[in-house]
Amino acid sequence: MPLHIQTPLIDSDAFSTPDQRVRLKLECLQPSGSFKLRGVGHACEVHAARGARRFLSSSGGNAGLAVAHAGHRLGLPVLVVVPESTLEWPKTLIRRLNAEVIVHGKSWTEANEHLMSLKRPADAFIHPFDDPLLWEGHATMIAEAAVQGPKPQAVVLSVGGGGLMSGVLQGMHSVGWEDVPLIAVETVGADSLNASIAAGQLVTLDAITSFATSLGARRVSDAAFQWTFAHEVVSTTVTDAQAIHACLELAREHRLIVEPACGAALAPVLGRSAPALKVATDVLVIVCGGVCTTYDDLKKLECQSTVS
Ligand SMILES: *Cc1c(COP(=O)(O)O)cnc(C)c1O
């Protein structure tokens, strides 16, 4: 039995138009609140079968929470080391699953180094986005979607480090969707894939300046970048304000709360901005979820992003 659940694929009457059917794959309904449980759950199960005694993560967000969830379910301890900048709410959720949370250092790099210094031989480190086991787990959402609904003319998702993208593309190629364009959305200030495509090589951003912290990988994985040569990937950016607006539309129309990192994927659909989206009669949006923003946070961010 996998640790993730089958999620609904719903027709969105609210976001569809007479010329375009929009379907939402509701990964926000995974028990850990995001798609991450698919890949992380799969990786943890494989490591446990190979004899791992403990799971390690340096994510203070949805990846760390998914590791905590997997460890809890598999009956193995979890250690998460996060930098001082990590929000209280995800730390609370991670601790609630009996995972040990250590706060160390100013940056993710410092936290990760500290975690590695604590690593014991039977520990399994679970990467947030760059591991074939994760992609295998994420790919299951497409295997499900292919049974639940028709073949779409575009798939839309958001990109942080590119783990979701790599898994979804792997899934698309195994169900015969290799000719369906992938609209890969990032927020301005977290647009490491977009910058890499523009430069023709992997680019490391100097800093993350977007509110969509779950998209905040300064550099995407090499695997994600390589996919842009093997599949039609349309890289698109949206502003934080557009991503937050999309979150509030999703809350109003479908009664679902997600992070700006997820709203980002909905924003070009609502704005009907990307050219590849203009011609698609059937669009599949991965509603990847995220638990790090509450509804109140979204309302506050809405004010901040319209002022600045
Ligand atoms: C992790 C995450 C992303 C980005 O996924 P990557 O695999 O890093 O590209 C997007 N949205 C949410 C809510 C996430 O937790």
Is the model's pLDDT at 308 over the cut of 70?
no
β-strands 282-287, 154-158 pairing? parallel
pTM (predicted TM-score): 0.97
Question: 222-230 and 163-174 helices cross at what angle (nearest 10)?
Answer: 40
pLDDT for residue 114: 95
Domains of the chain: 9-35+131-307 (3.40.50.1100), 36-125 (3.40.50.1100)
Give the number of other CB atoms < 10 A from CB of residue 153.
18
How confident is the model over 193-248, as pLDDT tens digits?
999 999 999 999 999 999 999 999 999 999 999 999 999 999 999 999 999 999 99
Closest C-alpha residue for ligand 1 atom 13: 290
Mean pLDDT calculated for residue range 279-284: 95
32 Cα: distance to centroid of ligand 1 (angstroms)? 13
State whether the beta carbon of 293 lies less than 6 angstroms from ligand 1.
no
pLDDT of residue 307: 57
What is the DSSP code (8-state) at residue 162?
Answer: S
What is the atom index within ligand 1 of the atom nearest the CA of 217? 8
Cβ 264 vs Cβ 186: under 8 Å: yes
Q: Which sign does the torsion angle of CA 109, 113, 115, 119 carry?
A: positive
Determine the average pLDDT of the residues in 143-160: 98
Atom 15 of ligand 1 has which residue's CA nearest to it?
62
Which runs of E-coded beta strand occur in the chain?
9-11, 21-26, 54-57, 78-82, 100-103, 123-125, 154-158, 182-187, 233-238, 282-287
What amino acid is encoded at 234 in this protein? V
